[in-house]
Structure 1
Amino acid sequence: MRRLRDVFYINANFEEQSFIYYGMEFQEFIKYCPVELENLLITDGQFITNGFNYHWNFETAEGKEGILELTEEDIYGLGNFHWIDYSNEEDLNQCTPEEQAEVLYLSHFCKPLKSPFFDRINNQFVYLAHDDGWFCKLYCRDLSTFKEIIANKIIGAVSTNKRRKIYPMSDEVKNQLFEFTKEGLLIDFSHIFRDSRSVGLYFYVIGHYKNMDEMYNNLERNKQRAKVRGYLEHKNKQWKIDIC
């Protein structure tokens, strides 16, 4: 299983409340997500959980423990891995045939018939991944949730020394990075620069990609042609962005 953590690419569409991204696996998503999910309905990806819903004929991951167990499975080996979260089984079982059809359409075609969010089950996300860590399209009810995920993933990537405390990002820095995702943000973890006083890394605004092979296989060219090149640095207990 290939581990893909050298770069993190995010292509955001704020209008449809979606993100296409590369470089974050399912277990990282759960780790860095500030929202604690209650249950997952697995709409594509078989024989991976211990739960099953007979009303939907799909596997489920129930509760915090079930979801954590799922993060330990070989998600990459599934190929497609699609899920939608839900509040509780009673509400899930009360979904109408029309609502079920909408969820199935969304899982199969990776786009909604109407909306990716269903009030009956109160889902926060629709997660549509292929080859865990390579491609994911995420529908996010609250866009600011993904802003926090980005910040948490960056902090997690640079926090390798327990003796050096990495402080949270200010809202200003998080907002600036988040705005860049609208034009295709590439965060480069392959070269993290450290000295006794600071830690930092480069990021690039490289444009919109839906094909991750095209994005990743031309990575150096995409960096060179970036619309924006910046350096994100943690120093003196705070984060700052310098545009190069």
Structure 2
Amino acid sequence: MSKADEIRDIVYINGHVNKKCFITYGIEFKEFYHSLPTPLANILLLKHGFEDSDYHYQTHMDYVEEEQIHLLAEDDVYNYGDFCWIDFEDVSSLDLLEPQDIAALLYLGHLKKPLNSPFNNKLGNQFVYLAHDDGFYNKIYFRDVYDMKHILSRIIPLKMSEIKQKRFVFRRKKLEYPILPLVLANTLLTLTNDGLFIDFEHMVQSRRDIKIPLYTIGDFDDMNEMYNDRFEHKEMSKLQAHLVLTHKELEWSIEEVQ
């Protein structure tokens, strides 16, 4: 099994809510894109391998307009290697960028950290997306940190559907699951401060419900270390719980393991 396949079975989120920054493993750009509460406007590409982008002559940078972002989401983003972008409201705003703005953007894409603020008021960006082997190591800055709450509410049923489809390749109809209530997603958002590990790899389905193990395994910046030693990290977790979806009521809850 390739690493690109392995990462689909777990999600790890190392949250730095005060810095509006989340480091994630197991969430690909395609899943991020489809889980956003509002569509992306345009994307300024800092590091990429997308062949159908447009070129902005003043900044010497590539960009993708809203109508083409779905093509980017369907591309083989994982194999770009580095994939870094910042969204922006209007193409005309790119003309407002001065040399120091361009220098800050190049620094952002090269070192995967902001020179000053990750947010550029001229571009009006809501996100900064900095990935290496997309889905393996993603660092994302949110102007509104509660957008992550909305993403969590959608990414979990989306991931469940994808994994079910992968496990049962002959199933014709794709299963769909309800999104999480925002109150519950907010609880998960809080848990990211302690390194939330969502273990779809050991998701269990019974006649009554579906249970997804949850753990808090601490801060990791090295995703190889986090993934390779995940069983040891789970054993030492302060939280032992399940995210539960009942079949009959289609209700979500979190149950601690006794």
Tell me which interval the TM-score lies in, with the shorter structure as reference length. over 0.9
Alignment identity in percent? Answer: 36
- 1:111 alignment counterpart: 113
Cα separation, partners in 2 of 1:117 and 1:234, compared to 1, 3 Å: same
Cα offset, 1:195, TM superposition: 2.4
Q: Which residue identity lines up with residue 140 of structure 2 in the other structure?
A: L
Cα offset, 1:57, TM superposition: 1.1
| TM-score, with structure 2 as normaliser | 0.88
Of 48, 54, 59, which aligns to 2:57?
A: 54
Please list the CA deviations of residues 60-87 of structure 1 after superposition, one character each: whole Å capped at 9, or x if unmatched.
Answer: 1111x31001112221111101001111
- Of residues 177-186 and 163-172 in structure 1, the stretch that sits farther from structure 2 once superposed is 163-172
- 1:94 alignment counterpart: 96
Measured in 1, the distance between the counterparts of 2:130 and 2:185 equals 25
- 1:229 alignment counterpart: 240
Q: Check whether the contact 1:39–1:86 (CA below 8 A) recurs between aligned residues.
A: yes
Report the secondary structure of 1:155's partner residue. Answer: helix
Cα offset, 1:158, TM superposition: 2.7
Q: Check whether the contact 1:87–1:122 (CA below 8 A) recurs between aligned residues.
A: yes
Q: Which residue identity lines up with residue 243 of structure 1 in the other structure?
A: E
Please list the CA deviations of residues 135-183 of structure 1 after superposition, one character each: whole Å capped at 9, or x if unmatched.
Answer: 0000111111111111211111234596976333223311111110001
Cα offset, 1:113, TM superposition: 2.0
Q: Check whether the contact 1:21–1:137 (CA below 8 A) recurs between aligned residues.
A: yes
Q: Check whether the contact 1:184–1:206 (CA below 8 A) recurs between aligned residues.
A: yes
Q: Which residue identity lines up with residue 205 of structure 2 in the other structure?
A: R
Of 71, 79, 99, which aligns to 1:69?
A: 71
- Of residues 41-50 and 232-241 in structure 1, the stretch that sits farther from structure 2 once superposed is 41-50
Cα offset, 1:241, TM superposition: 0.6
Q: Check whether the contact 1:168–1:238 (CA below 8 A) recurs between aligned residues.
A: no
Cα offset, 1:233, TM superposition: 0.4
- 1:210 alignment counterpart: 221
Q: Does 2:41 match 1:38?
A: yes
Measured in 2, the distance between the counterparts of 1:50 and 1:136 equals 21
Q: CA RMSD in A?
A: 1.8
Structure 1 or 2: more helix by fraction: 2
Structure 1 alignment gaps of length 5 or more: none
Structure 2 alignment gaps of length 5 or more: 166-172
Measured in 2, the distance between the counterparts of 1:104 and 1:223 equals 38
Aligned length: 243
Q: Check whether the contact 1:18–1:137 (CA below 8 A) recurs between aligned residues.
A: yes
Q: Does 2:253 match 1:240?
A: yes
Measured in 2, the distance between the counterparts of 1:79 and 1:178 equals 28
- 1:184 alignment counterpart: 195
Cα offset, 1:196, TM superposition: 2.8
Q: Check whether the contact 2:50–2:75 (CA below 8 A) recurs between aligned residues.
A: no
- Of residues 168-177 and 120-129 in structure 1, the stretch that sits farther from structure 2 once superposed is 168-177
Q: Check whether the contact 2:22–2:140 (CA below 8 A) recurs between aligned residues.
A: yes
Q: Which residue identity lines up with residue 29 of structure 1 in the other structure?
A: F
- 1:219 alignment counterpart: 230
